[in-house]
Structure 1
C-alpha cells in the first residue's frame, strides 16, 4: 500500500516497548501494527473505531 505514514500511537505508553504504530492518513481506513514486528502485517479498522471517545 503506497502513501502509508506510520507514527507511534498516542495511546502507547512507556511500558517496555509494548507499542503500536498507526497509519491514519489513508481515506476510510486506519492501519495498526506492532512496533516490534513491523514486517508482521497490520490490522485495519474504520476511522470511527479509532476515534477517541
Structure 2
C-alpha cells in the first residue's frame, strides 16, 4: 500500500487470490478476502 485510503491489493497464492484493502490510509490491510480457485480479477470485478 502507498498509505492512501481506499487502496486494494491482490496476491496470488497457488490457485487462490487474496484481496486486501487499506480503508483508512495507514498503509496496513484493514481487511482481506481469500478467493478460492481463481488467480486473476480485473477492475470490472469490483464495485466499491
Q: Is TM-score (shorter-chain normalized) higher than 0.5?
A: no
Structure with the higher fraction of residues in strand conformation: 2
Structure with the higher fraction of residues in helix conformation: 1
Between the two structures, name the one with larger relative contact order (CA 8 Å, sep ≥ 6). Answer: 2
TM-score bin (small chain): 0.3 to 0.5
